[in-house]
Structures are given as C-alpha cells and as structure tokens.
Amino acid sequence: MAHDLKEKLKEALLDLNNDATLDYVQQFLAADEMTAKQAVDSIAEALEIVGRRFQEGDWFLGELVYAGTIAKEAMDVLTPALTADDARANCGTVVVGTIEGDMHDLGKSIFINYARSAGFDVIDLGVDVPAETFLEAVNEHEPLAVGMCCLLTPAAGGVGRVVELITERDLRARTKIIIGGAAMTQAFADEIGADAYAPDAVTGTDIIRGWVG
Amino acid sequence: MNFKERFVTAINHKEADRVPIMGLIVDTATSCKVLGKQPANILDLLKEEGPKDDLLAMLNTPEVWNQTYIDIVSDNLEAAAKLGYDANWAIYTLLQLHEDKSTKVGFVWHDPYGRVWEISEDNNGNSIINYAGGLCGTKEKWRAKMEENKALFEVLPDYAREFHCALQQRFGDRIYPVGYAAPGVFENSWQPMGFAEFTSLLYQDADFAREIIAFHTEHYLRHMDAVLDAGAEVVLGGDDLGQKTGPMLRPAMIEEFFGESYRKVAARVHERGAKLIWHSCGNINALLELFVDWGFDGIITMEPTAQMDVAQVRQQVGHNLALIGNLDVSHLLVKGTREEVEQAVEQAIAGAAEGGGFVLSAAHSHSLIDPQRLQWMVEAGKKYGKYPLVR
Ligand code: B12
C-alpha cells in the first residue's frame, strides 16, 4: 500500500495533475502506516525526473515551473506534518539571490524551488541584491553555499565582487559559491574563482547536494 | 539607394546595394556616449527634498509624458543615425509614476497592463527602468485593473499613432524608425501576473487564460493599427518566447493558446500591405515553423548566447523568413577585438545574406555595449555586405 501510494503520488505530479497530487498527499496524511516524510521523498523523486526531462529537452520551461508550483503546494501541506527529526534533517542552508542591477527572477525562483524540494533550507534574498547584502547573509546564516543568478553582462561584475568579499573574509572553506543565468559560463566561474557554474537548476541542485557533509 | 529602400528591399528578400544595418533599441547609455550627452537621471528630481505632488502630477500628464518620451527615443534614433544604421526600433510606452515606499527610490512606474517598473541607475549614471513584477496576481485583481484602465486603453492607440508620426517626421529623411507594437500578447498576458501564476492558469483555468489573451489580442490589433497608420511598410512585433535552452512553453501549447492571436496580428499587418518582423530573445529554434505558419515575415535577434545561429536558421527556414541579427552582446560588442567583431559580421553575412532577406544587428541592447564596437560592426557590415556578395 505504501509503495502503491508513493508511486501514485509521483505519477500524479508527473502528469501535472494538481488536484490528484494534493489528493494523494491527503491520503498520505490520513493513513496510519505512512509518514509525511515518505510523501516528501516521492515528490523529490518526481521532481528529479521532471528536471531530467527538462535537461534533455523533452519538457519545456512551463512544465518545469508548473511542476514546481504543484510541488510547492504539496510541501506547504506536508511541512507542518513532518516530525521534528525530519525537519531538522535538512541538507543545509543555501543563500540565493539575483545580483544587483539584474531583475530577472524566473531562473532564481526555479533553482530555489528545486533546492527546497531536495531538502535545503533556502534563504531567498530576492532580485537586484547588492554584493554587501550577500556578504551580510553569509555572515548571518553561515550557509553551506551561496547561489547567485545573473543574466545581464552589465551586472556580472557584482558576481565577481561577492566572490571577492567572501574570499577576503576567509569564509570559502565554510561556504561554497555557485552561479547561474544567461550571462554566466564555466569560463566566467573559473575567471572569478567561483566553485561552480550550473547551466540549469537541476544541475545546480545536484552540485550543492555533492557539497553536503 | 537610401536607407529605407535598402531596408525594405532586404525584408522583401531582394539584394539591395548592401546588407542594411539596424539598431536594436540602442540603450540610453550607449546613445549618450555616441552623442556626447550627459546622463539623464530622473532620480535627481525624485531625491530632492519636499513634497512630490506637483512633480507626479506633471509627469503623469500624458501630454508631458508623451513629449518627454519622444525626446528620449529621438536620442536613440539620433545615435543610431550617427552610428550609420539604416533603421532602428521605435517603441511607444506609457508609464505613470507612483509612490512606493517599499522600494529603494520610493517611486515606481506602472504601465497600463498592470506591470510595475522599478527605477534604478545604470553603470553610467542614467536612470533606467526594469520590469519588477505585476499587480494582477489573481483573477479579481486582473479584471479590476483592466476595468480601472479602460479609459487609458481607449487613448493608447492615439498616443502611439502620434508618437510614430512624430518620429517619421523628425527622422524620415535620415533613418527608418521601425514602429514596434510592444509588449506583445504573450508578455502582456503573463508579466502582470507572474510567469508561475500564468502558467498555472493555463492548466487550471484555461477559460480565464483565454479571456486574458483575447483581451490583449484586441488591444494589440488596435496598437498595431496605430503603428501602421504612421505609414510603415515594415512593422515590428515581439514577445520573448524563448529562454536560454528552448521555448518558454511547449510549442504545441503556444500554438493552442496563442496561435490564433498571432495569426490575427499577422493577417492585420498584411491586410494593410505591410510586413511583420517578430522579436524574441532566447532559443526559438523549435518555433520557427510556427512563425512561418502564423504568417510572420521575419525574425529579429537570434540570440547567440541561446545557441541561435543565423546560418542554421536560414537553412531551416530558407527565405520564408527575413532574418535580422545577431551579434553577441555578452562579450563581442562589450569587449571583443576588432578582428572578432569583423569575423562575426562576415560569418553572419556569409550564412544568411545571399539573395537578400538579411539585416545586420546586435542581439540586444544594454548599458555596457560599446559604441566603438558598434562602429566596427557597421564598418564590417559595409565591407562584407556589398551585393553581389563575394564568396
Ligand atoms: C524573460 C527575459 C526578460 C524579462 C524578465 C522577466 C523576469 N522577471 O525575469 C524582461 C522582458 C523584463 C527582460 C528585461 C531585460 N532583459 Co532580458 N531576457 C529574458 C530572457 C528571454 C529569458 C530569461 C528567463 O527568464 N529565462 C527563464 C529562466 C528559467 O531561465 P534562466 O534564467 O536561464 O535560469 C535557468 C538556468 O540559467 C539556471 N539558473 C538561473 N539562475 C541560477 C542561479 C543558480 C545559483 C543556479 C544554480 C542556477 C541558475 O536555472 C534556471 C532553470 O534551469 C533572456 C534570454 C536568455 N538567454 O536567458 C533575456 C536576456 C537575459 N535579457 C537581456 C536584456 C539585455 C534585457 C534588458 C536589459 C533589455 C532592455 N534593454 O531593457 C532588460 C533588463 C532588465 C533587468 N535589469 O533585469 C539579455 C542580456 C544580454 C546580456 N548579455 O547582458 C538576454 C540574454 C537576451 C538577449 N537577447 O541577449 N528580460
């Protein structure tokens, strides 16, 4: 039964069926022999498949975004039902924002959605974020990673500045830096000394997962 | 052959004397550098002490806005003409200033469709505006906003007509200001709501999504009519339908929801005897056949950072579309060498200009694009773009 329901939940999400997904989530919560954590795992598995389909060009941005929206709704229902142990078992904190001068927010939001579904605690700094604000957030939250989104060439200097600030404060051992968005490339990441560049949100999530403990 | 004949000839897939060159907006920072003008910054006015009611009332008077806006776009056209371009975009917009204490500046612009535009400064000290979200996150909010702006929607086409006529008059003997009806129906549908919200509607409340699309299509046709009234042979329309790796939505879904709308727009332009060129950023390779099917006559941009290649597009669509593009603005036109710029121009022309149907252009505009590189682009365009092309 547990296995069955897990598969059904996964399929509902992969069919982009919002009502069915939420319905199965309720069934999880109502059944004694199952936990909210199992439902969360199912959702994470489904999102991984969604991400792969997008990477391979079988699915399009709208589908990636809508799957993320459904997953978020399901997580909103499930989160209060997670046990304290499950909730504490998150993979770590990640600070994410779009760099100053850049207001593009779709890519950042998708990355955040996927990172959260993968179990990360994400601090969303929003768009148009000054380098100093990234540094303040790193000091305050002591994150595992900082993720910066940048689509505009004129804003790219700010991304380099954040790397400089974090490096100057000797925080690189604790906090890794990952970048993404249209103006970012692997070559640029190498040039400014970021730890990683991700061409898409799913790769980005895989990379930060690799940095956990 | 003058600039306009050259441009129109190319769009009609005939070889002019040479490949025409077109500007894609020409950003204010770039224009200031070309014209030797000081940066213009509305923030100086907004930061002054004291009440802002008078300033708001003045800027929000359509006549004042329209006049100021014509002057801003005139600078872009002036710069484009000075760079040696044959044509440049001309987009009409109406914005209204609102107080908003939650922003850094304390003010934002609203457009009639329900978008919020934040005000900030570029690297050169010009004030710039950026789409920062929408006011229409729910069905109720969307309907209320469209109702609130009903009177504005009535007069917008008139303002647009006056704007395009004024620019034709000012620049008609020096450069071709190609009228652009913007934003397009796709962007007007999602941006005032948010992309995630609009995408959810497509799945959960398709009827309401269609209501939004039909509303904007109706308005867009009137906007396009106004552009055509200024006497244009070629007009621009546009929507960012692509992102870095592919279309924003599954092509079949774009067809299902927006196909009819785009067909109507193309048909209207053709009824009036003009050609329709479509702008979209991002990777739109998977949409090219649809563009032809909808009746678009050309596309503009073909963003290289999204793996768009003009030669490949030409191979794919033949001369069913005129192609305008596509010099990279992430490196090449910011800090590329002269050789790199020349090579890119030569390659684009070799790949797409045989038999006409090609116009050389940058793939977008932003504040770090360097006028010197644009100049090199123009010079190379004149050198390699002479017809008959040397193979
Ligand atoms: C939609 C769009 C807009 C919308 C933005 C809406 C919004 N709120 O986000 C509008 C129309 C408002 C807009 C405005 C502008 N834009 Co724009 N825009 C685009 C477009 C077409 C798609 C961007 C997008 O949303 N993609 C969808 C998302 C999901 O994809 P993504 O951002 O790439 O994110 C994915 C990955 O990159 C990754 N990712 C992204 N961030 C991060 C972060 C981390 C940490 C990780 C791990 C991963 C990751 O994961 C995501 C999912 O897989 C791009 C084209 C392109 N190639 O991207 C141009 C583009 C980015 N824009 C461009 C320009 C020039 C502008 C303007 C300056 C235009 C102008 N002259 O006014 C303004 C600037 C506004 C500003 N200051 O921010 C240029 C930038 C060129 C350059 N090199 O600088 C581009 C590349 C288009 C082009 N022709 O060259 N734009």
What pLDDT is recorded for position A33?
85
Question: A127 CA to middle of ligand 1, Å?
Answer: 12
Q: Residue B365 phi/psi, 5° resolution?
A: -135, 145
Burial of B144 per CB tally in 10 Å (0-12, 13-18, 19+): middle
pLDDT at position B311, please? 98
Domains and CATH numbers, chain A: 2-85 (1.10.1240.10), 92-211 (3.40.50.280)
Sign of the C-alpha dihedral computed for residues A124, A130, A133 and A135 taken in this order:
positive
**Tokens of residue B142, six digits:** 């969307």
Q: What percentage of chain A exceeds 90 in pLDDT?
A: 83
Which pLDDT band, with edges at 50, 70 and 90, does A10 fall under? very high
Sites in chain B below the pLDDT cut of 70: none
- Give, using CA atoms, the residue closest to atom 33 of ligand 1: A181
Q: What number is the average pLDDT over the span A52-61?
A: 95
pLDDT in tens, B18-53: 999 999 999 999 999 999 999 888 888 887 777 788
Give the tens place of pLDDT for each residue, A79-121.
888 877 676 667 899 999 999 999 999 999 999 998 988 889 9
B188 lines ligand 1 (CB under 6 A): no
Residue of B59, B126, B147 lying closest to B99 (CA atoms): B59
Query: For residue B267, which amino acid is it?
Result: A
Structure tokens of A66? 């809508």
Interface of A with B in 38-57 (CB under 8 A): 57
- Sequence-ordered alpha helix ranges (H) in chain A: 2-14, 18-30, 36-55, 61-78, 84-88, 106-117, 131-141, 156-168, 186-192, 201-210
pTM over 0.90: yes
Token pair, residue B204, equals 């959960």
- Sequence letter at residue B26: V
Would you call B120 and A101 a contact, using CB atoms and an 8 Å cutoff? yes
Q: Does B118 touch chain A if contact means CB atoms closer than 8 Å?
A: yes
> What pLDDT sits at residue B377?
98
Tell whether ligand 1 has an atom less than 6 A from the beta carbon of residue A176: no
- Using alpha carbons, select from A208, A200, A209, A212 the residue that is nearest to residue A55: A200
A122 beta partners: A94
Mutate which of A66, A69, A95, A104 for ligand 1? The one with the most ligand atoms within 8 Å of its CB, which is: A104
- Output the pLDDT for position B48: 79
Q: Residue A87's pLDDT is what?
A: 67
Q: Which residue, A62, A57, A56, A70, is CA-closest to A14? A: A70
Strand duo B107-110 + B115-121: pairing = antiparallel
What is the SS3 assignment for A142? coil
Distance B209 CA to ligand 1 centre (A): 24
How many residues make up chain A in this entry?
213
- Distances in Å between the Cα of B347 and the Cα atoms of A29, B97, B173, B344, B383 are 61, 45, 31, 5, 13
Strand-by-strand arrangement of the B107-110 sheet: B96-99, B107-110, B115-121, B127-134
Please tell me if residue A109 touches chain B, with a CB cutoff of 8 Å: yes
Give the residue from B280, B164, B173 showing the smallest Cα distance to B230. Answer: B164
Q: How many CB atoms lie within 10 A of CB A83?
A: 11
The answer to whether residues B239 and B265 touch, using CB atoms and an 8 Å cutoff, is no
Q: Which pLDDT does position A1 carry in this prediction?
A: 58
Tell me, what's the pLDDT at A117? Answer: 85
Is the confidence metric ipTM above 0.90 for this complex? yes
Q: Which domains does chain B have, with CATH numbers?
A: 3-38+62-94+137-384 (3.20.20.210)
A49 CA to chain B: closest CA distance, Å?
Answer: 17
B234: nearest Cα among B288, B300, B285, B294: B300
Name the residue with the closest Cα to ligand 1, atom 37.
A181
pLDDT tens-digit readout, A15-40 = 999 999 999 999 999 988 888 889 99
**pLDDT one-digit tens code per residue, A168-200:** 999 999 999 999 999 999 999 999 999 999 999
